[in-house]
Chain A
Amino acid sequence: MDELNVIIAGVGGQGILFMSRVLGHVAVKKGLNFIQTEVHGLSQRYGSIHTEIRIGRDVQSPLILEGTLDLLMALEPLEALRKATYVNQRTIVVMDIHEIPPVTAYIEKARIPDVDEIISDLKALGAKKVFTVRATDIAVELGDPVLANSVILGAASTTGVLPFSKDEIRSSLSDLSPARYREQNLRAFDAGLKEVEER
């Protein structure tokens, strides 16, 4: 099977669809087969959401088979943890360290695992590598928390999992950014490139 499987996970409203579109844009430019599954509608309202991306000649299904995930990009650590059933020995994880616990968890007094626990759980499941980046914090410093998606894209582009170069991703990010956000998105991307940390 010629396949590369990517999940981008996060909380509704964090701009996950935009990240997927950037990767799709690079894939089309490079003539690679690309299928992506998106979530629209009610689930976008601060719920747990993710997109599944599949790149490669033999790919037909829009959904990923458990155990075949190559890259997990998470804009929120608890959402990375939620995708544990996909994590296997070929999985590389790139995640933000800023937790956004669901407010219902406070009401229910549910236990909220911290970032260190999440990292060790993902490693225990055999994740090949776990990278972290202060994506939301950097985004807030740059003036807008929604820029965290570009920070994660920058961080993920250093891992070498994607069949695209950093410059290819950066240039598609630039092409797809609305003019008003372009400069900020690219700054966020570059910050992600620099500040990514292997754990």
Chain B
Amino acid sequence: MPESELLAPPGSKVLLLGNEAIARGAIEAGLDVASAYPGTPSTEIGEALSSVAEELGIYFDWAINEKVAAEIAIAASWSGLRSLTMMKHVGMNVAADAIFTLTYAGVVGGMVIVAADDPQAHSSQNEQDSRHFSIAAKIPTLEPSNSQEAKDFTKVAYDISEKYKLPVMIRTTTRISHQRGIVEVGDVRERRKKGVFKLDEPDRYLQVGNIAVKHHKELVEKLKKVEAEVSDRGDFNRVIGDGSDYGIIASGVSYSYAAEALKRFNLNIKMLKIGMPYPFPIRMVSDFLKSCKKVVVVEESDPIIESHVKMIAKDSNPDVEIYGRETGHLPWAGEYRPGIVIEAISRSFGIKLDLPAVNPAAAEISKKAPARSPTLCPGCPHRSTGYATRRAVKANSIVLGDIGCYALLFQKPFSLAKVSHAMGSSFGFANGFSIATDQPVIALIGDSTFFHAGIPALVEAAHHNRKAVFMILDNRITAMTGHQPHPGVSYTATGRPAREIDLEKLVRSLGIENVEVIDPFDHKRMEKAVRDSLNRDGVSVIIARRECALLTVRKLRQKGRIIPYIVDPERCTYCRVCINTFACPAFIDTGEKVKIDPAVCFGCGACVTVCPYNAIVPQEGSLNWLKEGVGV
């Protein structure tokens, strides 16, 4: 993003992504230290900070994983600085060990944890709701409903955090993280710059036995204060409208769907907007329920507010009818859309609301468009790794995938990596399958994912000399989230030099002898390496090293035009081997021949050796990335 928008002068109105607005809120609060591991939909908070950190003197870098990132932010807070850590929902699982105990210890400098949930699992393996962590770890939590609130809530979260000496969580969902809206920005507080760690209380940072119990009691007292002084006071939770005895309780982006529905249908229904779901505003909800006969609760992703509302209704107004997921008025899985919320309002209150007319044929016509799932890019090294691996694996091989672009190798024609679970699980599972079965085991992991959570599992495998093939798909970047640096590269998020951790040396240091580093575009060598490794006893490691094609092509475009490859129609026999085994998105099937779409081809030449008839040929000026060492 242009830096000018993120650093716009106070009072100006700029278009900010929800995530950028969070970054601006933290900057306005005087942020000193931020650390994170990238993960959709949280990544752009770090991307925004990367673009301005050096100029503002803020420390920001991508950390090896969410737990280390959280620990960096915690230590900064304990040193009196204002700190930030942000992650996708499943990142909370990784950071949780550090965060659960943090609420016992408390904070010194204000600390904000952003948990970005992904209902609909657009770029995720599940739809988990981070507010379960709010309750389980006892973290005061704010839920903004648009970009402006994302900025405002983050800024004020720092004051709450410091006042009550607790971390504060900002919980977003994809449509908040990734909505761009107009934000009026505020003044930027001066930073503290350097902290000092002091032990004013000798056991403050020591959590064990009775000390932990003592701190737990304190924590409960702090939360009661937050409930009375913040949550129940109307700063974040408020009633909008009066009118009828029908009520809507809504949070996050669901609030915007409900509010717009009331406007669209000109309905006089009051709303309780929940901007702080934890600690729960018991008094406020209790009062609201007393004034209602029927209530519908609209929230993503799990019925957390809904269950609390039901518990409170038991005491405050047992007769109130409460609708939501548990009554089947809203779906349990998938994200909400405006139409879903309109329908829930209509059914809950028995009001007929006519949705705008949609031609009944539209759904069928839409389905005529052939499915277009995310696909590996032209020139992607993972396609070549998948192509060669597919040729080498045996029918009973267990091929394990992990989190990253290469997870797409589950698709045809590769049909590899049919297991994709959690960060680092491929390497962990490989240990387990080599114990439990006699099948050949091959585990794929990306470079960034290997650093994040694959190392312990590889150490485990080396220790026991498991019979399995461990492939590190080293594309020299954290690619899927948009190219963030990781410990395997020589620079930081803000472009400072950093020590490049040598993957090969790291692996060899475990005593693993069978280690090969291969350019995946060298299909023959890759296929042979996979085959040999599968036939070998004990641990083998293959490092498939080639830069992400998007980076390569970006550099090439700066130098000049990309010259695509072409198919020689004389030689093309329309055997379709290229499409059916390599499946580059640049291939066009005319029904008689295969062609290469010049608008899609990256001119990498990886497909040349795939054609049995040598029909794929360069044009004048086309490069061959393998032969010319481009991108390695």
List, in ascending order, chain A residues with CB within 8 A of B17's CB: 38
We find that the number of chain B residues with CB closer than 8 angstroms to chain A is 73
- The closest CB in chain B to the CB of A87 belongs to B362
Question: Could you mark each residue 79-91 of chain A with 1 if its beta carbon is under 8 Å from any beta carbon of chain B, else 0?
Answer: 1011111011100
List, in ascending order, chain A residues with CB within 8 A of B361's CB: 124-125
- The closest CB in chain A to the CB of B357 belongs to A67
Distance in Å: Cβ of A184 to nearest Cβ of chain B? 12
Indicate if the CB atoms of A62 and B253 lie closer than 8 Å. Answer: yes
Indicate if the CB atoms of A102 and B371 lie closer than 8 Å. Answer: yes
Indicate if the CB atoms of B373 and A36 lie closer than 8 Å. Answer: no
**Is A15 among interface residues, defined by CB-CB distance under 8 A?**
no
B:335-373 near A, CB below 8 Å: 337-339, 342, 355-359, 361-363, 365-366, 368-373
A:52-92 near B, CB below 8 Å: 58-68, 78-79, 81-85, 87-89
Stretch at the interface among A103-111, A163-171, A185-193: A103-111
Distance in Å: Cβ of A8 to nearest Cβ of chain B? 13
B:168-209 near A, CB below 8 Å: 175, 178-182
Bound Cα distance from A33 to B183, whole angstroms: 10
Question: Could you mark each residue 328-339 of chain B with 1 if its beta carbon is under 8 Å from any beta carbon of chain A, else 0?
Answer: 000000000111
Indicate if the CB atoms of B14 and A45 lie closer than 8 Å. Answer: no
Indicate if the CB atoms of B480 and A85 lie closer than 8 Å. Answer: no
Q: What class of interface size applies to chain A in its complex with B?
A: 35 or more
**Is B15 among interface residues, defined by CB-CB distance under 8 A?**
yes
Bound Cα distance from A21 to B2, whole angstroms: 11
**Is A179 among interface residues, defined by CB-CB distance under 8 A?**
no
Bound Cα distance from A145 to B584, whole angstroms: 17
**Which of B260, B411, B598 makes the CB contact (< 8 A) with A61?**
B260
Indicate if the CB atoms of B561 and A106 lie closer than 8 Å. Answer: no
**Is B448 among interface residues, defined by CB-CB distance under 8 A?**
no
**Which of B253, B355, B375, B376 makes the CB contact (< 8 A) with A67?**
B355
Indicate if the CB atoms of A46 and B585 lie closer than 8 Å. Answer: yes
Indicate if the CB atoms of A103 and B585 lie closer than 8 Å. Answer: yes
**Is B54 among interface residues, defined by CB-CB distance under 8 A?**
no
**Is B217 among interface residues, defined by CB-CB distance under 8 A?**
no
Known contacts A37-B178, A79-B369; A104/B375 CB under 8 A: yes
**Is B43 among interface residues, defined by CB-CB distance under 8 A?**
yes
**Is A152 among interface residues, defined by CB-CB distance under 8 A?**
no
Indicate if the CB atoms of B374 and A46 lie closer than 8 Å. Answer: yes
Bound Cα distance from A34 to B607, whole angstroms: 44
**Can you offer 6 A-B residue contacts whose CB atoms are under 8 A?**
A35-B179, A41-B482, A59-B260, A61-B257, A67-B358, A68-B356
Q: Which residues of B are at the interface with A, using a C-beta cutoff of 8 A?
A: 2, 13-15, 17, 40-41, 43-44, 122-123, 146, 175, 178-182, 253, 256-257, 259-260, 263-264, 337-339, 342, 355-359, 361-363, 365-366, 368-377, 405, 408, 411-413, 480-482, 557-558, 561, 576, 579-580, 583-585, 587-589, 597-600
